[in-house]
């Protein structure tokens, strides 16, 4: 403490490296026993930020340890409303630019008039850009003790007062929260909310573990308030959850402190009803049990054979049936082998999917095609199968070979492989009945989930196995003969098309730079297949094929290593469409916050959850969505069209799909005005179905206004 005769308050700013901090005061002095406001200010470097009292998913709040004269007291920070700071899959809460953190300072009643006291605050900041750096500063402020209240500090007095005026306040709002299945509803009402603009409304909790900060907060408007749909955090996994849910409700220009208690929504708040995961599900699937889910999976597996993603492998099925039209015993054996391959692969994918979700990964059906190395490997595999069908090399004997132990074993292995490959390439499709069944399965125990996936595999394999066991159908097939060689080579072209499609998917995931890499690998693999064919021909002539076979194996390994051995980059995020599609059907890239804002504004929205590798999605897009009829329906009803692209892994989209009981894409949602649940459209679309749904959303808009 320093003794001086009067004088204004004095402070010195401190540069910590990425911000400049200063301890400032609202008044030019303080009287004995008086309470005034002082503040710690931060001028943060551009691109950097510090944190709010609840930092969110990561980070640490600014702290201060005070050194004060005996009898003097410093209060807690009055925190301004923070900003949301997304960092990859996380969301943090904090500040950028200039931040004022006021607090109360109370002088001792025995303070002597005329002296000047020195206040010290040891401040600790966590300052982050792409990296986080802890920075410290010892801040000092010399403050004179005056006989009465001192005038405001001309520089900092108005700034601190404005910060206090804009800080969140309670405003007498009533708030309640309730757990509704996987969702947490927070309802708030009060006079201050009447007529308020709820676009961009957001709840910042004081506790860091009550909600999942990265999940969107859907807004439902009521006559005297609103209800937010939150995702429960760790605290709600422990017993019944907390007894209070306190924090800041931000409405953009204004913010309010609220403290919610468990219970029904107060009068005047919107009621969310059931969580969105159960919003208007398809008839008969709202409360699936194991038997119902398995039955729907069985139906979905049967229908999956008719989906476009399986067409390339139908070529291999057709070749196998034609080869064994007169050998019923072998046809039955290979039919069972095909079924075993399909079932085993479905179960393997299910185990991998369950394990990844248990480890915290946000993945769903078709997850293997979200990995660029897997897509690259599948493209090479399709090319290899096509080269085999083209006759470059043989795999498992010729089409006319129906005898011999070794060829028989090769035939069974080939049938098993065909079943496995059919399942892998079927993953981009979701047939009717599959979505609800798989969505239900992935929320159950592993045993129940595997049961549903097994039913899906049985349904998928059943038609081919049944044909193999029906002599009448086999007898109707053409007799084996020379025509089959031409038929086999013609069937190679769907496989070439499948390889080309997978390369296109790869470029969407990893950018055009991936083309050179996958093309080089494809050329090396083609040379390896040619050498393998040459080795087989030498062996049939009684010559030694070892050198050629070794070269073929070496080049095959080189091709695979080139395709999957090093990580791929990421393609730029998709923007607005171009070309003919943009002229007809314009769309926005989906973000949860944009959807929440549009719904808060009472606008109808159509959300298309899609992926480049999803063949069903692409067919729907060409046949039912990229049409003039849909474009006109969107325009006349004022519907905002959004695409949620799941080509690359996105935990936000994965969480959305799970919330609506889906394990993969496609998923189509139409939201009307004035809140309400999202209407789920069928997995297989027609233009008429989409237009009717958009018109219904438009009618909801008119009735809401």
Percent of the chain with pLDDT over 70: 76
pLDDT at 397: 39
Our count of domains for the chain comes to 4
- Domain assignment of residue 483, yes or no: yes
Q: Are residues 155 and 204 both part of a single domain?
A: no
**Mean pLDDT computed over 163-187:** 89
pLDDT tier at 2 (50, 70, 90 boundaries)?
very low
Give the containing element (helix H, strand E) for 56: strand 50-56
Q: Are residues 486 and 516 both part of a single domain?
A: yes
Average pLDDT score over the chain = 79
Which candidate, 620, 608, 623, places its Cα nearest to that of 684? 620
Q: Please say whether the dihedral angle defined by the alpha carbons of residues 23, 29, 31 and 35, taken in this order, is positive or negative.
A: negative
Q: Are residues 153 and 186 both part of a single domain?
A: no
What are the tens digits of pLDDT across the range 657-674? Answer: 877 777 678 889 999 876
- The neighbouring-strand residues paired with 126 are 134
- What is the DSSP code (8-state) at residue 169? B
- Domain assignment of residue 280, yes or no: no
CATH number at residue 91: 2.60.40.1250
Instruction: Say if residue 239's pLDDT is above 50.
Output: yes
Rounded (to 5) percent helix, strand, coil in the chain? 45, 20, 35
pLDDT at 308: 56
Containing domain of residue 320, as a range? Answer: 290-564
- Domain assignment of residue 602, yes or no: yes
CA 457/CA 461 separation, integer angstroms: 6
Which of 147, 166, 185 finishes a domain? Answer: 166
SS3 letters across 402-420: CCCHHHHHHHHHHHHHHHH
What are the tens digits of pLDDT across the range 54-75? Answer: 999 888 999 999 999 999 999 9
CA 186/CA 222 separation, integer angstroms: 13
The residue whose two tokens read 């609103």 is: 226
Identify the residue with better confidence: 26 or 697: 26
CA 272/CA 316 separation, integer angstroms: 50
pLDDT at 49: 95
Which candidate, 2, 30, 33, 31, places its Cα nearest to that of 108? 33
pLDDT tier at 233 (50, 70, 90 boundaries)?
confident
For 105, what's the count of Cα atoms within 13 Å in the CB-facing half-sphere? Answer: 30
pLDDT at 481: 59
Which of 140, 166, 192 finishes a domain? Answer: 166
CATH number at residue 616: 3.40.30.10
Q: Are residues 179 and 103 both part of a single domain?
A: no
Strands 50-56 and 90-95: antiparallel
* Three-state secondary-structure class, residue 93: strand
Identify the residue with better confidence: 302 or 95: 95
**Mean pLDDT computed over 494-512:** 78
pLDDT at 556: 83
Q: Are residues 212 and 104 both part of a single domain?
A: no
Q: Are residues 341 and 473 both part of a single domain?
A: yes
- What is the DSSP code (8-state) at residue 199? T
Which candidate, 613, 595, 597, places its Cα nearest to that of 659? 595
Q: Are residues 394 and 528 both part of a single domain?
A: yes
Count of CB atoms situated within 10 Å of the CB of 312: 23
Q: Are residues 187 and 67 both part of a single domain?
A: no
Q: Are residues 474 and 615 both part of a single domain?
A: no
Q: Are residues 49 and 136 both part of a single domain?
A: yes
Which candidate, 336, 366, 367, 351, places its Cα nearest to that of 458? 336
pLDDT at 376: 83
Strands 667-671 and 255-262: unpaired
Instruction: Say if residue 301's pLDDT is above 70.
Output: yes
- Domain assignment of residue 3, yes or no: no
**Mean pLDDT computed over 593-601:** 85
- Domain assignment of residue 574, yes or no: no
- Domain assignment of residue 441, yes or no: yes
- Domain assignment of residue 284, yes or no: no
- Lowest-confidence segment of 220-229, 413-422, 561-570 by average pLDDT: 561-570
Instruction: Say if residue 286's pLDDT is above 80.
Output: no
Q: Are 40 and 104 in contact (CB under 8 A)?
A: no
pLDDT at 569: 61
Task: Beginning with the edge strand found earlier in the chain, give each strand of the sheet holding 83-87 in spatial order.
Answer: 50-56, 90-95, 83-87
What are the tens digits of pLDDT across the range 366-389? Answer: 555 667 787 788 788 778 878 877
pLDDT tier at 413 (50, 70, 90 boundaries)?
confident
Which candidate, 161, 136, 146, places its Cα nearest to that of 25? 161
Which of 509, 539, 564 finishes a domain? Answer: 564
CA 71/CA 65 separation, integer angstroms: 16
Q: Are residues 244 and 314 both part of a single domain?
A: no
Identify the residue with better confidence: 451 or 282: 451
- Lowest-confidence segment of 321-325, 441-445, 642-646 by average pLDDT: 321-325
Q: Are residues 373 and 459 both part of a single domain?
A: yes
Helices (H), 511-614: 513-540, 546-564, 579-584, 592-600
pLDDT at 361: 47
- Domain assignment of residue 87, yes or no: yes
Instruction: Say if residue 206's pLDDT is above 90.
Output: yes
């Amino acid at each position: 403490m320093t003794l001086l005769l009067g004088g204004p308050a004095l402070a010195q700013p401190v540069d910590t490296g990425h911000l400049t901090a200063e301890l400032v005061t609202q008044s030019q002095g303080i009287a004995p026993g008086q309470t005034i406001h002082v503040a710690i200010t931060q001028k943060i470097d551009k691109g950097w930020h510090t944190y709010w009292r609840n930092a969110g998913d990561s980070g640490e709040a600014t702290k201060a340890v005070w050194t004060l004269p005996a009898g003097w007291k410093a209060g807690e920070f009055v925190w301004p409303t923070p900003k949301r700071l997304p960092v990859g899959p996380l969301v943090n809460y904090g500040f950028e630019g200039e931040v004022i953190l006021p607090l109360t300072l109370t002088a001792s009643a025995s303070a002597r008039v005329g002296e000047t006291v020195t206040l010290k605050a040891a401040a600790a900041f966590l300052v982050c850009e792409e990296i986080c750096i802890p920075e410290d500063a010892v801040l000092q402020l010399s403050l004179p003790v005056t006989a009465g209240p001192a005038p405001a500090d001309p520089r900092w007095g108005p700034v601190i007062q404005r910060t206090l005026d804009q800080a969140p306040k309670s405003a007498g709002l009533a708030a309640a929260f309730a757990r509704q299945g996987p969702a947490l509803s927070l309802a708030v009402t009060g006079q201050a909310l009447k007529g308020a603009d709820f676009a961009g409304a957001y709840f910042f909790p004081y506790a860091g573990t009550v909600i999942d900060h990265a999940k969107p907060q859907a807004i439902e408007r009521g006559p005297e308030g609103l209800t937010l749909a939150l995702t429960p955090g760790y605290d709600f996994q422990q017993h019944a959850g907390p007894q209070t849910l306190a924090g800041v409700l931000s409405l953009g220009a204004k913010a309010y402190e609220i403290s919610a208690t468990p219970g029904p929504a107060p009068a005047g708040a919107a009621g969310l009803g059931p969580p969105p995961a159960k919003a208007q599900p398809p008839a008969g699937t709202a409360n699936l049990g194991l038997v119902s889910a398995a039955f729907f999976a069985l139906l979905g597996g049967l229908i999956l054979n008719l989906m476009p993603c399986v067409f390339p492998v139908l070529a291999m099925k057709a070749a196998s049936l034609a080869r064994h039209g007169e050998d019923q015993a072998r046809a039955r054996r290979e039919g069972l082998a095909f079924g075993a391959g399909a079932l085993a692969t479905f179960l393997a994918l299910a185990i991998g999917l369950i394990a990844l979700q248990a480890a915290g990964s946000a993945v769903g059906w078709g997850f293997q095609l979200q990995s660029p190395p897997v897509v690259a490997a599948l493209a090479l595999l399709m090319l290899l199968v096509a080269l085999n069908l083209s006759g470059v090399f043989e795999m498992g004997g010729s089409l006319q070979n129906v005898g011999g132990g070794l060829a028989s074993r090769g035939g069974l292995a080939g049938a098993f492989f065909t079943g496995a490959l059919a399942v892998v390439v079927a993953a981009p499709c979701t047939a009717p009945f599959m979505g609800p069944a798989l969505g239900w399965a992935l929320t159950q125990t592993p045993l129940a989930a595997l049961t549903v996936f097994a039913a899906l595999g049985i349904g998928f394999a059943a038609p081919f196995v049944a044909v193999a066991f029906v002599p009448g159908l086999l007898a109707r097939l053409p007799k084996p003969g020379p025509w089959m060689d031409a038929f086999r080579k013609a069937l190679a072209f769907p496989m070439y098309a499948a390889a080309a499609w997978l390369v296109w998917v790869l470029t969407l995931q990893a950018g055009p730079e991936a083309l050179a890499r996958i093309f080089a690998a494809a050329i090396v693999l083609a040379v390896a297949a040619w050498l393998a064919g040459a080795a087989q021909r030498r062996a049939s002539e009684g010559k030694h094929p070892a050198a050629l076979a070794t070269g073929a194996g070496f080049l095959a390994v080189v091709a695979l290593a080139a395709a999957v051995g090093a990580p791929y980059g990421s393609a730029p995020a998709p923007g607005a469409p171009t070309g003919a599609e943009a002229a007809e059907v314009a769309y926005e890239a989906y973000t949860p916050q944009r959807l929440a804002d549009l719904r808060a504004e009472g606008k109808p929205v159509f959300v298309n959850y899609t992926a480049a590798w999803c063949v069903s999605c692409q067919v729907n897009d060409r046949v039912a969505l990229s049409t003039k009829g849909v474009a006109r329906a969107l325009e006349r009803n004022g519907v905002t069209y959004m695409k949620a692209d799941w080509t690359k892994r996105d935990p936000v989209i994965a969480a959305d799909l799970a919330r609506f009981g889906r394990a993969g894409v496609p998923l189509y949602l139409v939201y009307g005005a004035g809140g309400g649940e999202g209407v789920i459209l069928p997995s297989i679309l027609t233009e008429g179905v989409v237009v009717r749904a958009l018109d219904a959303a438009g009618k909801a808009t008119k009735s809401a206004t």
